[in-house]
Structure 1
């Protein structure tokens, strides 16, 4: 073998060794340029590593919908846009960026080996052609010097919720994109439909630089999936089962403030009962509770339980106690007496009622929540029934809770 051929062979070996990390991290269904003539194209670096099933697509949308609706309530970014962008940018969570970095929006960190970043090797050069090319296997099959790149590092996230919160609460509110949210809100006030306003929002952030292929292109591809999955309904401020309900105003107010959520089918179920776990979540949201050093443990609230964090918070702040020394009974319906006691514990009163007062024939001084019920009644937070009863053992409904929280907010009371 001649010397030039030996040198070329040595260079190829060194090149393949330098790319070994790529081979290890890449999916077998997402080949790099030197591995496959068709699948190994640079543009394929952005594509899904496999074709998601319908069940996987639905599961992905259901999960992101929860985070998107919460983000919409907190920061005003349309939930439909968040979900549509996640679908397109991550291929329903199947791209290498999504699977390796939980980055479902393709958010980059333009730097060389940044802290908290993950590198997508094999993608096209988006840094004005300045990245050295190590080998050329044909059209769209270039091998770049990854050590010289700042254009293919992506922000890593702890999970999908972390990614949604960063997108909606930081990235899209910055100076570059923040105007689009203002325009979105103004367009709704002008009478635009949620669909029209959300489509325009997608167009404006793309024109501002979110997608380098342009506003029309990005609006078309994102809005196609938004329409396919009817995502615009998630932007609506009114739950479809509260129109005309006596507590509609209160429910919508709490929703807009992110203190209470509905269900994935777009309903609120205002007349459904409220569990103790659900109450803990609402109270912790409303009061903005933070963790204290005090240890809390209930045998029926494992760390894997969805309401574990909220229950820990209300117990640490002594707003809700357990139903026994070791049990919280998270799935038990909350009673009206328990509700009164929570607000009493939170200090939502000017002064406690004097003993000897008996406003309700079913709440005597011997009742465990007597002081709380009488005090909260005196403050106008909770009232009884027209027949002289308070109904201390009756279950609280979701609408009743919304109405009470609304009254507290309107009074401007903060926890003492």
Structure 2
């Protein structure tokens, strides 16, 4: 009985292998080249997949390439979604002859004869302006070329698909021809564009620059459909490590990311931080209370312009209870008013972020009189190296504080160990 079962298992295995081989032969027979069959062969078949990938094959390809693309995007600034989408379009999910034989999933050519580390795609249509000698002509799309004279069908050979991704993102798309598109991509994200819009624009720009001969509109459309089908934009977000998409290259990027990791700051629903936007008093209240881990003192606090349903209500109550931020008069807090530099200095002073208070006779700034209400606070913050003035001798008492500037100051305070009141 056991022997019969084993024989049955072996027979099933043989049948599976035969059926798979038959499927491969059948698929391959549909893509014959002219030198393989003078009747059925087509030059255009050279570009076609060697087999039709299953949905599982496609998913596995996306999963593999997404890892390489995410790493490459983080390192070189090329949108991960674009890298993955281009890999799918150019390689048929890794099934084209070029992808199978050379790990070249992007169809990157080497325009020369017999290059080192190159692989030749025999039988493909002439892309060298009709200069390739024809040995046999069996009709339209059925030409047999003298492959030894060709420079237009050699492709770069890669050791792995990962190496192909790294070459594309780290070398090819960084050159003078395409480099501008990466800069535009970063700028578009900083201006609040979605990953989808910015990535599609990137595809459009590199295609118009020559990456695809059919042009930007065509390439953006076909790659864009793939990016949407597989929701590839999630890898753009992953490449940014879950932080804000508009702080790449910003002077306060490190400080902003540090505070975000600590949970002291957050951004907007569209994935941006808006680092150069002026900070409101309510936003400052939230950041300060989070940084200092303030707790409720049960002291009743109420501002008539801060309703209980307002998003910043609890944070405003906390900073008021601890006498860090007070109202602006007439029982109002003015939550949406822009926080000024003088107000910020006073908040830090109220929080006790100093070793010694400045003297009342100090006068370091031309726009801060000794009788100004925040004079001592401003001088103390200057003395502690927490806030500084401008090169023209002004402090800028009524100038606004940006979200990035506060993040940088909080970062410095944390490094000094002043994270408790």
Report the equivalent of 2:371.
none
Which whole-Å CA distance do the structure 2 matches of 1:150 and 1:70 have between them?
33
| TM superposition shift of 1:167 | 0.4
Alignment of 1:249 onto 2:257? yes
Which whole-Å CA distance do the structure 2 matches of 1:232 and 1:135 have between them?
47
Which whole-Å CA distance do the structure 1 matches of 2:41 and 2:123 have between them?
9
8 Å contact from structure 1 (residues 34, 137) kept in 2: no
| Residues paired across the two proteins, number | 230
In terms of mean alpha carbon deviation, does 90-99 or 32-41 score higher? 32-41
Report the equivalent of 1:294.
none
Which whole-Å CA distance do the structure 2 matches of 1:242 and 1:188 have between them?
9
Report the equivalent of 1:195.
196
Q: Secondary structure at the match of 1:80?
A: helix
| TM superposition shift of 1:35 | 3.9
| TM superposition shift of 1:223 | 1.0
Report the equivalent of 1:67.
68
In structure 1, stretches of 5+ residues that fail to align are 1-25, 254-405, 412-416
| TM superposition shift of 1:147 | 0.8
Report the equivalent of 1:131.
132
In terms of mean alpha carbon deviation, does 233-242 or 158-167 score higher? 233-242
8 Å contact from structure 1 (residues 80, 226) kept in 2: yes
Q: 1:167 to 1:242 in 2, by over 3 A?
A: closer
Report the equivalent of 2:166.
165
Task: Show the 5 A alignment for 1:146-185.
Answer: 146-185=147-186
Which whole-Å CA distance do the structure 1 matches of 2:35 and 2:179 have between them?
42
Report the equivalent of 2:116.
115
Which whole-Å CA distance do the structure 2 matches of 1:46 and 1:146 have between them?
16
Which whole-Å CA distance do the structure 1 matches of 2:44 and 2:260 have between them?
45
Alignment of 1:105 onto 2:113? no
- CA offset digits 1:169-224 (Å, max 9, x no partner): 00100111111101111111111111001001111111111111111111111111
Which whole-Å CA distance do the structure 2 matches of 1:99 and 1:235 have between them?
27
Q: Secondary structure at the match of 2:135?
A: strand
| TM superposition shift of 1:140 | 1.1
Which whole-Å CA distance do the structure 1 matches of 2:70 and 2:85 have between them?
13
Q: 1:204 to 1:213 in 2, by over 3 A?
A: same
TM-score, structure 1 length as denominator? 0.51
| TM superposition shift of 1:27 | 5.0
| TM superposition shift of 1:115 | 0.4
Alignment of 1:221 onto 2:222? yes
Q: CA RMSD in A?
A: 2.9
Which whole-Å CA distance do the structure 1 matches of 2:227 and 2:201 have between them?
13
Which whole-Å CA distance do the structure 2 matches of 1:64 and 1:175 have between them?
25
- CA offset digits 1:83-131 (Å, max 9, x no partner): 0000010000000000000000000000000000000001111111111
Task: Show the 5 A alignment for 1:331-342.
Answer: none
Q: Secondary structure at the match of 1:172?
A: helix
Which whole-Å CA distance do the structure 2 matches of 1:214 and 1:138 have between them?
29
Q: Secondary structure at the match of 1:109?
A: coil
Q: Secondary structure at the match of 1:150?
A: coil
In terms of mean alpha carbon deviation, does 90-99 or 137-146 score higher? 137-146
Report the equivalent of 2:359.
none
Which whole-Å CA distance do the structure 2 matches of 1:251 and 1:66 have between them?
27
Report the equivalent of 2:45.
44
Which whole-Å CA distance do the structure 1 matches of 2:53 and 2:71 have between them?
26
Task: Show the 5 A alignment for 1:7-46.
Answer: 28-36=29-37, 40-46=41-47
Report the equivalent of 1:10.
none
Name the larger-Rg structure: 2
8 Å contact from structure 2 (residues 35, 123) kept in 1: no
Which whole-Å CA distance do the structure 1 matches of 2:120 and 2:58 have between them?
25
Which whole-Å CA distance do the structure 1 matches of 2:256 and 2:177 have between them?
36
- CA offset digits 1:295-341 (Å, max 9, x no partner): xxxxxxxxxxxxxxxxxxxxxxxxxxxxxxxxxxxxxxxxxxxxxxx
